[in-house]
Amino acid sequence: MKTQRNIFLLGVVALLITGLGYTAEKKTTATPPDFSKGTATSAETCGECHIAIYREYAMGFGGDINYKGIVYQSAKDNPLRLPPKASTSATAHALSGLDPFPVHARNIENSGKSCNVCHFPLSFEIPDLENLEIGRPKPRPTNQESGGVNCASCHLTPEGKIRAPHKVESPHQTVVDPKIHTSAMCAYCHSVGKRVPGKQTQTFLEWRDDFYKPELGKQQCQDCHMPRTLRKTAEDFDVPVRAVSRHLWTGGHSPQRVRSALNMVIVQPNENRADLEFHVMNLGAGHSVPSGSNRRGLYLIADVQDNKGKVLVTKEWMFAPWYGDRPDDRSFLEEDKKRPDALSAIQADAQGPHELTIRAGEGRILNWTPKLAPGEYTVKARLVYDLNRYNERSFTDDQTESNNAVLSVTLK
């Protein structure tokens, strides 16, 4: 049994090594890497020396990231799955170039241009944290679109050097940039224009204006999405063990991250009456929930059951980012047909109006008075996070229950 276990462990190690493109021989030479392709440089190039970091980025190693099949609309459609050569637990950055939703779609948010900028950026300077309006980096030429968001996307400076949070001796030219430790590092791709509460793709601005400035906390994006570990940055080189950020960026595909964002409480404010309050509190996220793409949705589903467990009545609310600068609303559907981004605008407005996203530190109260006869009941509520609110509700593979609450009530 012990022999079989050892053979199995050796097989796992061999798989990891070959999967990274390594040989059994450790890399001991200090040959400078080739960055002539700029931000199109493959992550595997960096992975030759930064083994653990690459393994986190490309395989989600040490995280609970889980990419399931996604469908556009109908649950009867074949789910859009990742190619077999991609790990099903890789990070969102590693898989950004494989996103099943079209990154070349014309988008009104980007002046009608292709919205591939964040998936395939050229090198950039990190913006100032206090910029009132955050722009976008320039996109790579279409013939250099490979690898999605890779190591060079964030670490390669316009001068061709590697930015790092601390001074190191390395084969490549390295420049210390303290901003890489701050949320400004994430600003270009995780915000659009000026702050519009409720709008999509506002995560950095939500963090800065709703969380950081009001002093709800001092955490930067990296503190939650890139927790630190003590280790070497390059395993085969004589470098010190130090605190190094884990390159996982756990988010919507991480059940642990989703479940740590919101708290919920059910209240019967008036004894013996059917008035119910559902308090949803954003205590764990440093930004709005849901955040990012307008595809993200959060459902609050409340059921009232009798003493036999039978569901008598149900109520549902949906929280989601707006597609544009105004609330999603069905009254705009005819007008949407004339837009260059008609498909995107229509699918958003078809689901509006809906609840605004829950801002950092906010406690939202939703009221419901179900029609019930006198008696004893159990009220159950669930918060369900949905990666794509536009597909059929019967498709649940991309959903995660983030919280639940129960309350027994008596009506007279």
Task: Give the pLDDT of residue 98.
Answer: 72
What homologous superfamily is domain 256-321+357-411 in, according to CATH?
Immunoglobulins (2.60.40.10)
3-state secondary structure of 184: helix
pLDDT of residue 354: 98
Q: Write down the domain spans for the chain.
A: 1-250, 256-321+357-411
Name the residue among 180, 140, 148 with its Cα closest to residue 44. Answer: 148
For the chain, give the percent of residues with pLDDT over 90: 64
Residue 224 is inside which H or E element, if any? helix 221-225
The pTM of the full predicted model, rounded to 2 decimals, is 0.86
Whole-angstrom distance, CA of residue 61 vs CA of residue 65? 9
**pLDDT of 134 higher than 50:** yes
Looking at residue 102, its pLDDT comes to: 53
pLDDT averaged over the chain? 86
Q: Please give the C-alpha separations between residue 148 and each of 16, 55, 96, 287, in angstroms, as whole numbers.
A: 22, 16, 5, 25
Q: At what angle do helices 2-19 and 51-59 cross, to 10 degrees?
A: 90
Q: Residue 75's pLDDT band (boundaries 50, 70, 90)?
A: confident
Look at residue 14 and tell me whether its pLDDT is greater than 90.
Answer: no
- Ramachandran category for residue 163: left, alpha or beta (phi over 0 → left; psi -120 to 50 → alpha): beta
Highest mean pLDDT among 59-73, 109-123, 167-181: 167-181
What integer pLDDT is reported at residue 29 of this predicted model?
52
Per residue in 204-214, pLDDT (tens digit) is 999 999 999 99
What is the reported pLDDT for 24? 35
Confidence of residue 32 (pLDDT cuts 50, 70, 90): confident
Band the pLDDT of 135: cuts 50, 70, 90. confident
pLDDT at 154 over 90: yes
Mean pLDDT of 41-60: 93
Q: Is the pLDDT of residue 289 over 70?
A: yes
Burial class of residue 319, CB neighbours in 10 A (0-12, 13-18, 19+): buried
How, if at all, do strands 242-245 and 228-231 pair? antiparallel
